[in-house]
A and B are shown apart, each in its own frame.
Chain A
Amino acid sequence: MNDLGIALVPVGQALLSGVLVGGVYGLLSIGFSLAFGVMRIVNFAHGDLVMYGMYVGVVAATSFGIDPLFALPISFLLMALLGAAQYLFVFKRFVGSATLQQLLAAIGLGLVLQMLAQVVFGADTRSAPSMFSARYILIGPLFISAAQVVAFVVAVIATLVVEALLIGTRWGKAVRAVADDIEAAEIVGLSAQTINITAFALACGLAGVAGTIMVTYYPTDPSKGLSLMPIAIIATTIGGLGSIRGSFLGGIFCGVVQQLTAMLWSSALQDIPLYVLLLFFIAYRPTGLFGLRTE
């Protein structure tokens, strides 16, 4: 291998890891984006549902001896139920506009969820290896973790399923109708309430899936949910608030930028370019790359 090739190995490694990590960022962002796109709810507690999804994996692995990968459906169902409860008790009254009150309610809810997790699971860092953890695949000079590849594949499948649900089914049509004009949707006989609950539950279930798949290679603690929120916010804004595929690609973009920054500058400052990009997107392209609506 020549000198240039050797110099490019870290770049290739950063790009590859960035895409793999970013796929899961994408998965946790599409739920956040869905809640905003359909109900105009900015759910700051979304990251905490991801964190609970991580603990579902931990409990499955440590208490029941089940591989976290088999806990994915349970995690989806539990978080969807928790999401439906959140919607009914907190967010129902805020549907339609992201007000100061709505954001504050979501932050309060997130803090309560985080502290409950700390009471139940303790503040220690926990992990839940799957059958693919600690296995690595070599591609020439580059190596990737098998758990991350599996997580990426799950994230892609989940995103495609959500896209298919929204585009190809009657339910998806109804969701898009309610998102466009809630009153018109009710006039033609749709129950906005039912549709909103199901959409919100789906968004939260996706957070659960993202968490459980993530814990196979990324240890968790109760503050992890909050620390993932900036990624969801940035991926969604860059991809376009309310756009599913935009958020997914935004997640991949975030992963790549993080890894490149960590390689070229410092891993402690890996998020700084993302924050700067966020400001520039808000100032010059608030609809993001794939934004659906402007207001």
Chain B
Amino acid sequence: MDMPIPAGRAIVVQPRPGFKSLLPVLAVAAVAILPALPFVNPYVQAVVVRALIFIALGQAWNIVAGIGGLLSLGHGVFLGLGCYVTGILFNEIGLPPWFGVWAGVLVALLVALVMGSMTLRMRGVFFALATVAVSLACDQLARHFVDLTGGDSGLALRFLGDSLWAAQSRSPTPFVYAGLGFVVAYYGITRIILTSRFGLEMRAVRDDETAAAASGVRVFRTKLLGFLVSAAMTALAGGLYMQFYQAIDPESAFGLGQAIQLQLPALIGGLGTAAGPIVGGALMIVLSEVTNWGSTKLNLVGVDVLVYGLVLLMVVLWAPKGLVGMLSRRRVRR
């Protein structure tokens, strides 16, 4: 499968000491003091949380698609499972999301294991088609079993007000820190994978399956493991998604629009890079705020989806390496 980023890019481009290495620390600090600033109202905080959630989801998708080169078009399945399982366990038996989310992760791992072991031995296109089919199947199932999932209108969490036990809050501030924690942790995981032997094997499989197999990489096992890691990370971030939005419905879990929102951060920022989903996710949320504002002004429905489609098309056609890819290429030349 030919992907645009040659193997080892993330290792080749070593950040120069100085400002560049301070950048992540400064970014974390900037987000961390944000809620304390006087001009930052809850709306702005909520936008920041949205950005952090989609960055985390983008980081998870980036593992399978960017580093592994696997064409997962249905990562909404794992987001949805994380949300639904967490929410159902809380509403039905009162299990707090701190524990419930791990059940969601387990279910996601199970689904990913079945999907992966059935499709990952085949050419990439079959895996892609299977991920589409599984999302649509989940969509139909979620709409059908109304008693459990709330059907078309979705599942709303029982709201208890500010409660640490239920991981609920009226103010978005706790979610800024939770989201920041996710992004930092997922950034760390991505860096570890990129520099580890496992990450090297994943990229070898992505760039040339036959050559990787000839060099002793166990291709199927590597692909499956990458898929499982990414699915678990997505479901875990789904728990945060559920606690912040307090609700989930089939369209925002398994719909195509959501699938694209999970892909755009890594695509805009740079597939297979650790910083890519962070840059791309922030940009995507800014873009979606602007289009939301514009479409309310113009009183048009569906503008956001049109813009996402256009951005997807433009990025793939004209900037396949994403922003980070474009910048680091320039640095390599110099």
B80 to chain A, nearest CB (A): 15
User: Which residue from B65, B133, B134, B310 sits with its C-beta under 8 Å from A100?
Assistant: B65
B119 contacts partner chain A, Cβ-Cβ < 8 Å: yes
B214 at interface by CB-CB < 8 Å: no
Contact call A272/B140, Cβ cutoff below 8 A = yes
When the two chains form their complex, are residues B71 and A107 in contact, meaning their CB atoms are under 8 A apart? no
CB distance from A271 to the nearest CB of B (A): 6
CB pair A100 B308 closer than 8 Å: no
* B203 interfacial contact with A, CB 8 Å: no
Instruction: Contacts A103-B128, A283-B119 given; indicate if A90 touches B133 (C-beta within 8 A).
Output: no
Docked pose: A237 CA to B119 CA in angstroms = 13
A111 with B260, Cβ < 8 A, contacts A90-B317, A99-B2, A268-B140 known:
yes
B136 touches A104 (CB 8 A): no
- A residues 41-61 near B (Cβ < 8 Å) are 42
State whether A103 touches B140 (Cβ < 8 A): no
Q: For the complex, what is the distance from the CA of A107 to the CA of B311, rounded to whole Å?
A: 11
B223 in the interface (beta carbon within 8 A): no
Chain A: interface secondary structure?
A: helix
Is B133 a contact partner of A234 (Cβ separation < 8 A)?
A: yes
CB under 8 Å from chain B, chain A span 82-132:
90, 93, 97-101, 103-105, 107-112, 114-116, 118-119, 123
> Residues of B contacting A118 with CB < 8 Å?
301-302
Give 1 or 0 for each of A269-281: 1 = CB within 8 Å of chain B CB. 1011001101110
Contact between A233 and B4, CB atoms less than 8 A apart: no
- Name the contact of B134 in the complex, choosing from A111, A241, A275, A283 (C-beta under 8 A): A275
- How far apart are B273's CB and chain A's nearest CB, in angstroms? 15
Known contacts A233-B132, A268-B144, A269-B140; decide if A282 and B3 are in contact (CB<8 Å).
Answer: no
Query: Interface of B with A (CB < 8 Å)?
Result: 1-4, 65, 69, 71, 73, 115, 117-119, 121-130, 132-134, 136-137, 140-141, 143-144, 256, 260, 263, 267, 271, 300-303, 305-306, 308-314, 316-317, 320
Some 8 contacts from A to B, beta carbons below 8 A apart, are A42-B125, A103-B71, A108-B312, A123-B302, A271-B137, A275-B134, A282-B130, A286-B126
